[in-house]
Amino acid sequence: MHYLDSFRLTSHSPAGCKERDSQASTGLEEGGCHAPSFQILESLIREGAALKREIDDKTARLRSINLLLAESAPFKSGQKSACLIGGGYKVRIRLHENITWDQERIAAFRKYLPAEKFLELFRMIFEPTSKKEIDGFIAHADKELSDGLKWCMSVKAGAPQLTYEKLD
């Protein structure tokens, strides 16, 4: 269970909350019985923005430190891992590579390999062309086809994305 599941921000008072209605409201009542007051929302927004700024600053600093440490680490020839010791810590460093594959070049390269060898190296992956196309198809296709496409989908709720913008 996600840590926010027990603290729902709602504007209604569902049945069964009458017992807690008499309690002093903090604005974040367990079970979603009360909506936070305007002052609490403002306070949460300010705190969220401050934490976001602090995390961004610290993340940037950590990224900078990690790059400096990686550049200073004694990597053995051909190795992608190294170790540094200092300040009471042992730091293990592992270099990573992010690889993207050019689909057109792969298709051209495929002509030079036997099919069996190609399929050992690569697999067929079916991905939607765009969310807009999928949503449009689901909205306008025959119900049977729309349901068939939905059957192929696995939808999981993601973390909400919030952007804080300082207002003057």
Each residue's pLDDT tens digit, 35-64: 788 999 999 999 999 999 999 999 999 999
Contacts for 84 with CB less than 8 Å, ≥ 6 apart: 69, 72, 73, 90, 91, 93
Sign, CA dihedral 52-57-58-59, equals positive
Which residues in 63-73 are b (16+ Cβ under 10 Å) and which e? Answer: eeeeeeeeeeb
Mean pLDDT of the chain: 80
pLDDT in tens, 109-134: 999 889 999 988 988 887 888 989 99
pLDDT, greater one: 36 or 73: 73
What is the value of pTM for the model shown?
0.54
Mean pLDDT of 96-113: 88
With a cut of 70, say whether residue 24 has pLDDT above it. Answer: no
Cβ atoms within 10 Å, residue 103: 8
Distance linking the first and last C-alpha atoms of the chain: 38
Q: How far apart are CA 147 and CA 28, in angstroms?
A: 38
With a cut of 60, say whether residue 32 has pLDDT above it. Answer: no
pLDDT value of position 78? 86
Q: How far apart are CA 21 and CA 162, in angstroms?
A: 30
Q: Is 89 in a helix, a strand, or coil? A: strand
Mean pLDDT of 7-35: 48
